[in-house]
Structure 1
Amino acid sequence: MSIVIDNERGKKVAKLLYDSFSTLGIHGKTDMPEDITPNNVVKGSLDHIFFITLTVSIDYQRDAPSLWESSRKTFDDSKTRYLFNPKLLHETPFRKIVEDMQKYKLSKKPQKDANIWRTVGVTFYKKWEGDPRKFLKNCNGDSSLILKRLRNDTHLYNGSSVSDYPYLRGPKIGPLWLRMLRDNVGIAQLRNLEKVPIPVDIHVARATLTTGVVRGSIEVKLDELFGDIRKAWFESVEGLSIKNRPMIALDVDEPLWHLSKYGCSYRDKITGYCPVSNSCEAREFCIKGRVKIENSIVELET
């Protein structure tokens, strides 16, 4: 059982996918589910920040297009818009939050998702005067420190120490939030983003494996490969430039997601045959062999 990280291949894949996504798109797609704002919400506004922040905090085991559509519907409804206001979240009974998050299927796990949502919102209300930008400023815009604070900051609840930012603190959602703050909200003051790992979900993982950037012969839990995948993209983008700046690992998150979501997901898990390969931007890098991901287990023979 062995794994190979092919950084030279990764450099070619990174440049190809980024250039494709920035121009004609990947499988015809040039935008992400979170790119569409709710009605009358100004990009970069506090409303926009909370729409992004609270929605991404429950982006686990979810279909992203459905999640963001549900969030927009919830925001656009005057009766449920309070869910995006941290002061009103603090003042609203928990049972009502649970109920209202189900109206447009914003929550899949009603109690758990409502607790995550309320905790994150109320933390920003109580500690940061209802403005996540004050938290970012308190961290001096340092992305590494922001991620550390997301992981470590706590408060007392019923006598116990609990996380200020449940799930937003996670290894996928934390970096994903930072990318969205940069790309969607337009916050330009974030520093050291080159130190932020790529947010690895099943799509980023699948696209990394099917392009052969990480390959080998192994059968393990999928999350055991996440470290190799993060390492692969940290190293693969080194020395590459885009838009007069160095490329960073976060820059290939969206292209990889699209490649898998609308392409590699249709690949035969055993033979590697892909019905959309003829029109795929990355077809020259599509590796032969088994890439089977089921029930959080990956079987790799490439």
Structure 2
Amino acid sequence: MLRSRDDILRDITELILLHQQGKLGGEKMPEDEHPPLEPSSAASYHYFTLPMALNYQRNSYALWESAHRTFNDPDTMDVFDPAAAAAMDAEKLREKLLKHKVALQPNKQPAVWRTLCVTIMDQLDGDLRNLFRRNGNSVRRIKQHMMQHKKSFPYLGGDKIMNYWLYVMEQYTDADFPDRECITVAPDTHVLQSSAKLGILTEEEAAGPKARELAASRWEDLLQGSGLCPIDIHTPMWLWSRSKFAAQV
């Protein structure tokens, strides 16, 4: 059942507070599994981008553990170097990505990885930070660029992953967005379940084909003027659903 704006805002504010108090779990998030890279470095931007494009219908914690092992292994760490990966023999790239299971599919996922590395090399002078610099660090402009060149950003250019990826970049690199409010809710399964629980979607809507678009649109509308940015509610809702709504709001 849909609920009033005031009721939903009250509950989401309580949920954010519970998260800040550590009462939703999540002391370690999936992306916390990373090497000690300088946040401003190209290596950091590449590390938090390439595995994200493979984060589709799989356990996020396992993905980033695999990414970290891949980075720490001298035999496989060069897959995070766009120049090396773009020039690498296809079979060698496949073997390296499968070794620690950062890729689970032997053909499609290595191809996605290679495409992104080629994009970084050919369109961004070998440095993903140029995507941000050339677009004035504007979320709106970065998203527009990626949507206009969607084939160059496989999976990463999809609406759900793109928004969550931008949030991760803000959290783990030195990316600083003047228009961070343009990062919309990243409506994965957990966020959709929490959205239904909070009453911004009905159960039927959350299970329907337009669930992601509806959730993103309604959260954006509801949070206008609230002082909250849509992406700020992602992690509390994700953790709440993941814990099977153990915390009461």
What TM-score range do you get, normalising by the shorter chain? over 0.9
1:15 aligns with 2:3: no
Q: How far apart in 2 are the matches of 1:5 and 1:111?
A: 45
Show the counterpart of 2:167.
179
Cα contact 1:204–1:260 (8 A) shared by 2: yes
Taking structure 2 as the reference length, the TM-score comes to: 0.92
1:228 aligns with 2:225: no
Cα contact 2:26–2:239 (8 A) shared by 1: yes
Q: How far apart in 1 are the matches of 2:100 and 2:20?
A: 32
Which has the larger Rg? Answer: 1
Where 2:99 maps in the other structure, the secondary structure is coil
What one-letter code is carried by the residue in structure 2 that aligns with 1:166? P
**Equivalences for residues 156-171 of structure 1 within 5 A:** 163-171=151-159
Show the counterpart of 1:138.
134
Where 2:85 maps in the other structure, the secondary structure is helix
1:125 aligns with 2:121: yes
RMSD: 1.9
Shift of 1:220: 7.6
Q: How far apart in 2 are the matches of 1:231 and 1:147?
A: 16
Show the counterpart of 1:248.
229
What one-letter code is carried by the residue in structure 2 that aligns with 1:29? G
1:204 aligns with 2:202: no
Indicate the structure with greater helix content: 2
Show the counterpart of 1:109.
105
Corresponding residue pairs, total: 249
Where 2:133 maps in the other structure, the secondary structure is helix
Task: State, as a whole percentage, how many aligned pairs show the same letter.
Answer: 23
Taking structure 1 as the reference length, the TM-score comes to: 0.77
Instruction: From the superposition, tell whether residues 235 and 30 of structure 1 become closer, same or farther in structure 2 (CA, over 3 Å).
Output: farther
Show the counterpart of 2:54.
58
What one-letter code is carried by the residue in structure 2 that aligns with 1:81? M
Moved more, 53-62 or 6-15: 6-15
1:261 aligns with 2:242: yes
Segments of 5+ residues of structure 2 without an aligned counterpart are none
What one-letter code is carried by the residue in structure 2 that aligns with 1:261? R
What one-letter code is carried by the residue in structure 2 that aligns with 1:182? E
Indicate the structure with greater strand content: 1
Q: How far apart in 2 are the matches of 1:147 and 1:180?
A: 15
Q: How far apart in 2 are the matches of 1:130 and 1:183?
A: 22
Shift of 1:30: 3.1
**Equivalences for residues 27-46 of structure 1 within 5 A:** 28-38=25-35, 40-46=36-42
Where 2:49 maps in the other structure, the secondary structure is helix
Instruction: From the superposition, tell whether residues 17 and 80 of structure 1 become closer, same or farther in structure 2 (CA, over 3 Å).
Output: same
Shift of 1:42: 2.7
Q: How far apart in 2 are the matches of 1:239 and 1:68?
A: 35
